[in-house]
Amino acid sequence: MTGVPGTLKLDPATSRPDLLAAPVAAALQVWPAEALIDRDQVMVAPIDADLADTAAFCEAYGVRLEESANCVIVAGRRGEVTRYAACVVLATTRADVNGVVRRHLDARKASFAPMDDAVRHTGMEYGGITPIGLPPSWPVLVDARVVAMPHVIIGSGVRHSKIAIPGPALGALPGAEVIEGLAREA
């Protein structure tokens, strides 16, 4: 992948399942032929798991915050029904959980999903959750600024690696919806 920042040592993700959570590796194996990019354009790099949090990662590996995207899991409730969604936003922004996301989920109340719930439902490690390989019933809400990036660095489902992927490809994931104004400046 040309233009990938920093000191990351990238390999095609399909060649390094040891650097992916099981749901991510499985999703790459069934990558749709009509996808915006070929699955071999999804790259992965090993990192120090202690540096997986965005700010520490960016500083250690020479990646700019605006080239890094976070995937947060939101739980929206209306009555006894809880719906989950993933929100993908640049690291320089924050998802508008109580506005845009809450309305999109048609929920009375929306908040970040508790860590244990996010980990249990995704099969991924906290701090490494990615929009690739999420439960198929979940909407993947992608801020328009993410898809405008030539590439972004996202989680891999585990804390000891990161994925580099063209920004537009995140808007083409199964269940993805690109939303203008999903996030606000941090």
Which CATH number characterizes residue 103's domain? Answer: 3.90.960.10
Instruction: Note the pLDDT tens digit of each residue in 13-41.
Output: 999 999 999 999 999 999 877 777 888 89
Say if 109 falls within a structural domain: yes
Say if 6 falls within a structural domain: no
The beta strand positions in 24-122, using DSSP E, are 43-46, 69-78, 81-90, 93-95, 109-112
3: confidence class by pLDDT, cuts 50, 70, 90: low
Say if 143 falls within a structural domain: yes
SS3 for 89-114, per residue? Answer: EECCEEECHHHHHHHHCCCCEEEECC
Element counts in the chain: helices (H) and strands (E)? 6, 11
CB 155 within 8 Å of CB 129: yes
Say if 3 falls within a structural domain: no
Domain that holds residue 110: 11-177
CB 76 within 8 Å of CB 85: yes
Task: Report residue 98 as tokens.
Answer: 């109580």
Say if 78 falls within a structural domain: yes
Domain count, the chain: 1
